[in-house]
A = this chain, B = another copy of it.
């Protein structure tokens, strides 16, 4: 049985029901722990699931912030320091990573509160998550205000990248399934992955081939 919902139906839903439903429409998605430091030296850590590819040359990554109607420590720290880290979430610490979404009081480090070890690498001015298998250090480039709902897109450039050498394929692919990194769904669900396949570059009038 197919359910059909219209915009009016969605607008009339109970708030949390609608949040769960609409958050699922963007499907399975990446989850990253974002590490920052404020100008008092407090390390902040938060889980984000709206992080997306913008381009490879230069290497740019976008992410979405909720409206700034309440304090957003991660956003404020990125603006004041100019630097932040993205750290992929491993299946072994999903619960701790989800816990970083709690609204801790200002001055509390989610690293400590949730059991993560911060680590500083390559003189980069934001904390990485020691336990994360893939760590990315970014610098702030630009931002855009989305008029329709007051969210903010921040664009960052990759400055540093750390990953286990054995997951790098000969053509530059990162075989993330070998690291135990998870995907998210909606606001509160996490998934493990198994590879269906990698496919050849698609050309008109030639069927795509499965490579591996």
Residues in A lying within 8 Å of B, measured CB to CB: 1-7, 10-11, 13-32, 49-62, 64, 86, 88, 91, 94-95, 98-105, 108, 113, 121-122, 134, 136, 141-142, 144, 146-149, 151, 153, 155, 157-166, 168-169, 171-174, 176-177, 181-183, 185-186, 188-204, 206-208, 210-211
- Whether B193 pairs with A191 at a CB distance below 8 angstroms is yes
Please give, as numbers and ranges, the residues of chain B lying within 8 Å of A10 by CB-CB distance.
Answer: 59, 158, 161
Please give, as numbers and ranges, the residues of chain B lying within 8 Å of A192 by CB-CB distance.
Answer: 193-194, 196
Oligomeric state, in number of copies? 2
Please give, as numbers and ranges, the residues of chain B lying within 8 Å of A188 by CB-CB distance.
Answer: 198-201, 211
Partner of A183, one of B27, B146, B161: B27
